[in-house]
Structures are given as C-alpha cells and as structure tokens.
Amino acid sequence: MKFKRSVLLIVPLLFLAATCKHTASSEFVLGAIPFPEDNPMSFEKIELGRQLFFDKRLSSDNSISCASCHLPEKAFTDGKALSIGVNGGITMRNAPSILNAAYLKTIMFDGELKTLEMQVIVPIQEHVEMNENMKELIKELRMIPEYQQAARTIFNRDFDPWVLTRSIAAFERSLISQNSAFDRFWKGDQRALTVEQKRGWKIFSKELYCTKCHPAPAFTTYAVANNGLYLDYGTDNGRFRITNDEKDKGKFKIPSLRNITLTGPYMHDGKILTIKDVIKHYQMGGKGHVNQSEFIHSFQLTKRKEADLEAFFTSLTDTSYLSSFR
Ligand code: HEC
Ligand code: HEC
C-alpha cells in the first residue's frame, strides 16, 4: 500500500476539537483530544509525524517502520501474535491498536509509561524492534532536507529527539476512530444497531460483568487487571515487572475493545486467536490465578446469546479513520 502526502481529511475536525472544547464534546464520544501543554497539535506537525511513522529509515537496517507493526488497515495492529522487528527479532508482546491512543492514561501493557512522547523512543531503541542508536538516528534524519526543514519551520530548532517524539506523538493523537455503529447508538441513534447487536450489548453490559473493566464508551477503565488468563504467567508477569509487587503479578493494562474484530489475535501475548475463544476463556471463569479479579467468574450462554454477543462486538468496528490514508 502506498501512502500519499495527501492532506488528512480528519484533521480539520481534529484541529477544531483540539482547540475548541465545545465542538469536541459533541463531536467525539470520548471527549476533546487531550494533549500535553508542551505539544499542541498542528496540521504540519501531524504531517511530519505521519511521515516519520511510515519511514523505515527509523530502523537500523532501514527495513522496519512503526507501521510495520501498526498497520492502518488492521486498526494499527499487525495480525500477528507477536511482532517481527529488525533481523527477524520477535517482540515479547502483541502489538496493540494505537487508534484513540490520545486518551490513554498510561502507555504499554505494564501500565507505567505516562506519555506518547516518551513511548516513541522505546521501539526505536529496542533491539528486537527497530534496533537504533538514537544519536546516530538523529544525525541521519537531520541530513534529510525535508525533515530538517520541517523541524526548523514547525519547532524552530534543528531535527532532534524533541522534534522526533513530539511530531510522532501528535500524529498518534490524530488517529481517532469513534464513528462505529455503537458510537452512533451511544449518541442516541436507536437504529444504528441491529436487533442482535442490541441484545448483545445488553448481555455484555447487564447480564455479564464485562463493563466492570470494559465500560462504554472507551471500553476500558485504563487500569491494569488480572483477567485470569493463566495460573502461571511464565516470564511475562505484566505490571509486576515494573513494581516487583506480588499483587501485580499477571496484571496487564485493560485493552479497549474498540475495533476488536480487526485487532486479533488477542491478549498481551496474542495467544487467543478468536473472539469466540476469548468468550470461552471468560465463560470458564478464568484459570484462577491468586490475583485474578473478583469480577471474573464462570457463566453459561445459550448459542443464541453467544451469537448476539459476537454481533455486538462487530458494532464496535469503525474504519472511517482509513479515509485519511487514501
Ligand atoms: C516490531 C514491532 C513494533 C514496531 C516497529 C513498533 N511497535 Fe509499537 N508496539 C509493539 C508492541 C509489541 C507493543 C506492546 C508493547 C508492550 O506493551 O510492552 C507496542 C506498543 C505500542 C504503543 C502502546 C499502545 C498502548 O495501548 O499502550 C504505542 C503508542 C506504540 N507501540 C507506538 C509505536 C510507534 C510510535 C512506533 C515507531 C516509533 C512503534 N510503535 C513501533 C510493536 C511494535
Ligand atoms: C477484571 C477486569 C476485566 C473484566 C471483568 C473483563 N475483562 Fe476483558 N480483559 C481484561 C484484561 C486485563 C485484558 C488483557 C489481558 C492480557 O492482555 O493478558 C482483557 C482482554 C480482553 C479481550 C482481548 C482484547 C485484546 O485486544 O487483546 C477481550 C475481547 C475481552 N477482554 C472481552 C471481555 C469480555 C467479553 C468480558 C466479560 C465476559 C471481559 N472482557 C471482562 C480485563 C477484564
């Protein structure tokens, strides 16, 4: 797929949203796009970030860009259980969607990193991802006239890590997907959902306990939780890696379920292949890890209810964000 330098269609809307709270609250179900004081959004900055996001020169052998693992057509995931980086390196975790990343309270499955700006340097330096030396990369990118010129124009400085991280983060904040059938239903359009999807929404939100951790409209509380995936999490104990606190073993950031039909395979390690199997996992009541959330317990669903629940998940798909990449 080739990405033209076309003007982003969604940007005018976004720009309004970022600058005018009144417009935003009615435009986006998740509210105005939050951004740090030191990194306001602008058309030019988002465009620079977009070019960097798709630029393979950001990896040591020029073979991998951010978009290699975050593909637009897959809601910015890659359809793999684990991702493949430079020299066939394999990531420890499943690549999450970065649509609506602007709203994240913490970044990454550990629930620790605070800003998108800080996240940018992680994959660039990670040896199984882009395997770059930051100093050398900046030297290389500064030699590219378009990048150096854009840095001077937008940031009034030479191309440096500040420019790199601010512009990519601004681009990520422009990746908004909040126009699913469910969003239209949430805003009051009763006809936006089919009868099956409406029944599924009722099962998801009323009959089961899913909204304790995946509440509408974000479909995440942004907290970390242990959803009972394993009895023994092996080498990846999630937030425990950061805190070393036994109570954090097996706790991972709760993912949003927006665009869930596009983002499989599922969970931090991509071990669950289908939504059907995810439902089965919860139906069994989790594996019973000591830290498993008290909300999770076994339940039964008739075939019809299971189909309704799956129909509901299809109502969370919104690919309108793709129009900005044509
Ligand atoms: C080799 C594959 C790969 C590449 C290249 C890559 N990522 Fe990722 N990305 C991942 C994986 C895997 C995770 C999950 C890591 C974790 O949570 O520990 C992730 C997580 C993220 C997150 C966190 C999302 C969330 O919900 O917390 C963001 C944001 C992100 N990547 C942006 C980027 C940007 C920007 C680039 C380029 C500078 C990039 N990624 C390059 C694989 C990749
Ligand atoms: C206690 C909080 C909690 C509850 C309750 C909960 N989940 Fe989750 N859910 C999580 C966490 C945490 C993950 C990610 C776990 C991981 O990555 O290992 C997750 C992952 C998922 C995923 C995969 C998302 C992805 O992108 O990989 C789906 C689908 C899902 N849950 C659906 C449900 C459904 C359906 C219910 C109700 C039956 C439910 N969840 C109840 C915490 C919860």
Identify the residue with better confidence: 151 or 8. 151
Residue nearest to atom 14 of ligand 1 (CA): 95
- Indicate whether 66 pLDDT > 80: yes
Question: Which residues, in sequence order, are bridge partners of residue 252?
Answer: 225
pLDDT at residue number 109: 96
Class of CATH domain 181-322: mainly alpha
pLDDT at residue number 3: 41
Residue nearest to atom 9 of ligand 1 (CA): 95
* CA 246 vs CA 209, 268, 290: distances in Å: 25, 19, 10
One fold for 11-176 and 181-322: yes
Q: How far is the CA of 82 from the centre of ligand 2 (A)?
A: 18
- pLDDT tens profile 28-49: 999 999 999 999 999 999 999 9
- Amino acid identity at 45: K
Q: Which ligand is nearest to the CA of 74?
A: 2
- Indicate whether 65 pLDDT > 80: yes
pLDDT at residue number 27: 81
* CA 123 vs CA 55, 57, 78, 276, 279: distances in Å: 14, 13, 15, 31, 31
Is the Cβ atom of 251 under 6 angstroms away from ligand 1?
Answer: no
Q: Which of 62, 64, 129 to mutate for ligand 1's pocket (most ligand atoms within 8 Å of CB)?
A: 129
Identify the residue with better confidence: 224 or 7. 224
Tell me what the pLDDT averaged over the chain comes to: 93
Q: How far is the CA of 14 from the centre of ligand 1 (A)?
A: 23
pLDDT at residue number 2: 40
Is the Cβ atom of 95 under 6 angstroms away from ligand 1?
Answer: yes
Rounded to whole angstroms, the Cα distance separating 180 from 319 reads: 8
Is the Cβ atom of 267 under 6 angstroms away from ligand 2?
Answer: yes
Q: Which of 80, 220, 227 to mutate for ligand 2's pocket (most ligand atoms within 8 Å of CB)?
A: 227
Label residue 316 by pLDDT band (50, 70, 90). Answer: very high
Is the Cβ atom of 69 under 6 angstroms away from ligand 1?
Answer: yes
Is the Cβ atom of 91 under 6 angstroms away from ligand 1?
Answer: yes
- pLDDT tens profile 135-173: 999 999 999 999 999 999 999 999 999 999 999 999 999
Q: Tokens 């050398």 identify what position?
A: 136
Is the Cβ atom of 296 under 6 angstroms away from ligand 2?
Answer: yes
Residue boundaries of the structural domains of the chain: 11-176, 181-322
User: How is 293-313 classified by DSSP, letter by letter?
Assistant: -TT-------HHHHHHHHHHH
- Amino acid identity at 150: A
Q: How far is the CA of 32 from the centre of ligand 2 (A)?
A: 26
CB distance 225 to 293 below 8 Å: yes
- Indicate whether 174 pLDDT > 80: yes
Label residue 323 by pLDDT band (50, 70, 90). Answer: confident
Is the Cβ atom of 96 under 6 angstroms away from ligand 1?
Answer: yes
Q: How far is the CA of 255 from the centre of ligand 2 (A)?
A: 7
Ligand 1, atom nearest to 94 Cα: 12
The whole-number average pLDDT for the span 123-141 is: 97
Residue nearest to atom 35 of ligand 1 (CA): 120
pLDDT at residue number 14: 52
The whole-number average pLDDT for the span 314-321 is: 96
The whole-number average pLDDT for the span 59-78 is: 98
Question: Would the pTM count as exceeding 0.75?
Answer: yes
User: Any idea which architecture 11-176 has in CATH?
Assistant: Orthogonal Bundle (1.10)
pLDDT at residue number 324: 73
Q: How far is the CA of 303 from the centre of ligand 1 (A)?
A: 36
pLDDT at residue number 325: 61
The whole-number average pLDDT for the span 15-35 is: 66
- Indicate whether 13 pLDDT > 60: no
Q: Which of 77, 177, 254 to mutate for ligand 2's pocket (most ligand atoms within 8 Å of CB)?
A: 254
Q: How far is the CA of 254 from the centre of ligand 2 (A)?
A: 6
- pLDDT tens profile 250-299: 999 999 999 999 999 999 999 999 999 999 999 999 999 999 999 999 99
Backbone torsions φ then ψ of 323, nearest 5 degrees: -60, -20
Could you give the percent of the chain with pLDDT greater than 70?
91
Residue nearest to atom 2 of ligand 1 (CA): 69
CB distance 250 to 289 below 8 Å: yes
- Indicate whether 18 pLDDT > 80: no
